[in-house]
Amino acid sequence: MNGYALLFTTAFMATSAAAQDNPVDLGTVTLNAGQRDERALLDSPVSATVIDRETLERRQAQDFNELIGDVPGVLIFGGPRSVSHTPSIRGFSDRQVVLRFDGGRMNFGQAHRGRFFLDPDLVQRVEVVRGGGSTLYGSGALGGVIAVETRDAADLLRPGQTTGARVSFGSSSNGDILKRNLSVYGDYGMFDFLAFAGDRRMGDDFERGEDEGEIGASQVDLQNSLLKFGFEPNPDHRIELSLSQYEDDGELPPNSSNVSDPDENVERDASQRTQRLSWDFKPEGNELIDLSVLYYANQLTINEDRDRDGREDETTYNTRGLEVTNRSSFDIGLPVDLVYGFEIFDDEQEGERNGEARNAFPNATARTVGIFAEGTFQLSESLDLIAGLRHDHYTRDPDDDSLDKVDERFTSPRVGLSYRPNDNWQIFGNVSRAFRAPSLSEIYNDGTHFAFGGFPTSEPSVTVIPGFPPTIIQTPGNIDNSDNTFVPNPDLKPEVATQFEIGARFSDVDVARPGDSLNVSVTAYNAQVNDFIDIIVEDFPDSPSSVTPGFPFNQRFFNANTITENADARLWGLEAELDYDAQRWYIRSGLSINRGERDDGGNLGSIPQDRLTATIGFRPSADWDLGARATFAADQDDTPETVAPGEAWERLDLYAIWEPTSEALNGTKIQFGVDNAFDADYTIYPNNLPQPGRTFKITASYQF
């Protein structure tokens, strides 16, 4: 760690005396997702991080772990294969986090099949809102919300342009990756459009660090296209239609977050189509109407074919949703800003194996209807009261008359205070109640989970699957084979989290020198979770045990049932961010300290390692942006008894961006990067697989 500290200290001292000849625009950071409204981050009483396009481009991200995996409180599960990636915030994982892409929910979440179906090259901006967000976003916002916005014509057009195009080529040494994309866009007053087509091709598997060998079956190709059309008949109205198509394919393990076994690998082919239609209406001078209406639909199909026995699995998941949100400002003796509306979304899933129903992914439908309102009441010039309430009605309907339907309701309140002692400071606190309704698979899973031939053993064992720990109990025995069977549980209760958080922000310009800016934030939180949905593997009486090749930690399994039940837990921790920009140089840092335990005293398996990130950048001229980003992760020893602790690791990334300002090369941008520059071999806990080793990257783009 001393080498990293010396590097950053040297860079800091070398650049601190410099002055910028061509200042950059430091702008005001705004938040859209935090309260379904656009407002300055310093006025938003939530713990949030906003990542703009400039920051995203420095990373040359191949996947969402590289894109947002270092945000305080955020962890991306799944290891190095991008198709496995699922989000975690503050130890709340996967479907306990709401994902929104251009406003539409992405509700799919099934074991190891991933949740991010979007090329990072399309991303213009990401907002991460941490903490209970069910008051505005309903089911799933236990850990928070990740809102991803894609590019549109206004993001790419240069001053004076009505039509433009951008072409980009990129290459990465590790995995022999080639990336290509083309964007064409225009704005003709009432009409604007953007067309994007891109792909990523891998020629080899990823290599681990320190010459530890390949990460088997990690080649995944992807393609993504997007069409956006905007229509603004006058300044009060905007209508936008977007259509996107995502595809990925590769040879992967059945559990794509796990070790590859060539005899068990499957050929995966995934496709998602998305449609989005929105209408925004904001009449000039009217403080009561600021209306947003959004309809969206996602159709996801994943095919997995296994050569060994000809098994063909098809997983389909469709989501359709409608949201209507309005924002009003008025005075009732004190100023009030109110956001309110309703949403309805339907989910439908189907699973087939060799053309027959696959009970492990049962055919079922779900509907959720929610109404919400949240007001910000200005009690004084410096003190705001935030109060909100949401009511959801959800149903679950299996395609099986022997299983019960689910029909439940839930109310999610939130109360908070925001205190602004002056223009630079904000102190805020929140108490909220968030929930997540059980998914279709958690309620209705049935049939064989996995089956395999056994080996003689008489040694009992207990182990845990990463996540909130399921306990696997073995009985001694000899030989034969093992089966693991899902057991439906229609009585599963929703997960409920009562969360407290308190935070402070500071933001100012001209702090140490003219033109600089400083933003600092610190948040502490505590969440009591009741009826956490836990997956538990129980033994059949008098069943033999057996060894399971290819499962993490050489686990022993036996004939068993996989059931879902409710448990209680507590999660708490702290996050901090610092962003200082002196124009010629800048420094950014983030700290995450997350803790959690079950109420019965056991440790949780989903709590990430403590982590510190630090970036130092230098702009020697208006053409260049150079920098280094270091990540330090601590040991994670507070794990369930039979889960291997997470080992500490360090990583250094380097980058350089050349964007010439000369007229002859105007529109050209070349990005260089070295990820994992010291070729460390490390694993991000609680993933099972190590990350890629040293990777050289280059991306060249031209915009005209």
| Confidence grade of residue 563 (pLDDT, cut at 50, 70, 90) | low
For the segment 484-508, the average pLDDT, to the nearest whole number, is 86
Task: Please compute, for residue 150, the number of CA atoms within 13 A of its CA located in the half-sphere on the CB side.
Answer: 28
Whether the predicted pLDDT of 24 surpasses 60: no
Model confidence at 464, in pLDDT bands (50, 70, 90)?
very low
Whole-angstrom Cα Rg for the chain: 25
List, in order of start, the domains of the chain with CATH numbers. Answer: 2-703 (2.40.170.20)
614: its two tokens: 């630090």
pLDDT tens-digit map of 485-495: 566 777 788 89
Pairing of strands 97-101, 144-150: parallel
Encode pLDDT of 621-658 as tens digits: 999 999 999 999 999 999 888 788 999 999 999 999 99
What pLDDT shows up at residue 600?
Answer: 86
The percentage of the chain sitting over the pLDDT mark of 90, rounded to a whole number, equals 72
pLDDT in tens, 141-168: 999 999 999 999 999 999 999 999 999 9
pTM: 0.88
pLDDT in the model for residue 30: 84
Q: 568 pLDDT exceeds 80?
A: yes
**H or E element that contains 293:** strand 291-306
Please give the pLDDT value at position 361.
84
593-614 residue pLDDT tens: 999 998 888 888 889 999 999 9
Q: What is the pLDDT of residues 53-90, one digit of tens each?
A: 888 888 899 999 999 999 999 999 999 999 999 999 99
**Max intra-chain CA distance, the chain:** 79
Q: What is the structure's pLDDT at 605?
A: 85
Q: Residue type for 199, please?
A: D
* Helix ranges, 74-181 (H): 134-137, 153-156
Count of beta carbons in the 10 Å neighbourhood of residue 479: 12
Q: Using the predicted structure, report yes or no on whether residue 547 has a pLDDT greater than 60.
A: no
Q: Which amino acid is residue 540, in one-letter code?
A: F
Q: State which amino acid sits at residue 682.
A: Y
pLDDT grade for 482, boundaries at 50, 70 and 90:
low
From 184, 274, 193, select the one nearest 229 (Cα to Cα).
Answer: 193
Mean pLDDT over residues 647-674, rounded? 96
Report the distance separating Cα 663 and Cα 505, nearest Å. Answer: 41
Please report the pLDDT score of residue 534 as a whole number: 57
Torsion angle of the four alpha carbons 595, 597, 602, 604, in this order, in degrees rounded to the nearest 10: -70
CB 654 within 8 A of CB 677: yes
> Which amino acid, one-letter code, is at 555?
Q
Mean pLDDT over the full length of the chain: 87
CA–CA distance from 255 to each of 48, 79, 83, 266 (Å)?
32, 11, 11, 9
User: Token pair for residue 322?
Assistant: 């409608």
* Paired residues of 324 in beta bridges: 293, 342
Q: What is the mean pLDDT of residues 310-316?
A: 95
Backbone angles phi, psi at 155, to 5 degrees: -75, -20
What is the arithmetic mean of pLDDT over 202-226? 97
Instruction: Kindly report, residue by residue over 372-426, the tens digit of the pLDDT.
Output: 999 999 999 999 999 999 999 999 999 888 888 999 999 999 999 999 999 999 9
* 257 has a pLDDT exceeding 70: yes
Measured at the CA of 260, the angle between CA 259 and CA 261, to 5 degrees, comes to 120
Give the pLDDT confidence score for residue 527 in this predicted structure.
96
- pLDDT for 487: 66
CA nearest 491: which of 444, 537, 534?
Answer: 444
In 3D space, the residue among 101, 141, 534 whose CA is nearest the CA of residue 368 turns out to be 141
In terms of phi and psi (left: phi > 0; alpha: psi -120 to 50; beta: otherwise), the region of 102 is left
- Neighbouring-strand partners of residue 293: 279, 324
Q: Is the pLDDT of residue 536 over 90?
A: no
* CA atoms within a 13 Å half-sphere pointing along the CA-CB vector of 680: 20
Decide if pLDDT at 201 tops 90: yes
pLDDT of residue 486: 62
Question: How far apart are the C-alpha atoms of 304 and 312, rounded to whole Å?
Answer: 6
More confident residue, 312 or 532: 312
Contacts of 68 (CB under 8 A, 6+ apart): 51, 74, 76, 126, 128, 146
For residue 222, pLDDT beyond 70: yes
Q: Exposed e or buried b for every residue in 304-322, given b needs 16+ CB within 10 A?
A: beeeeeeeebbbbbbbbbb
Averaged pLDDT, 584-589? 96
Other beta carbons less than 10 A from residue 28's beta carbon: 9
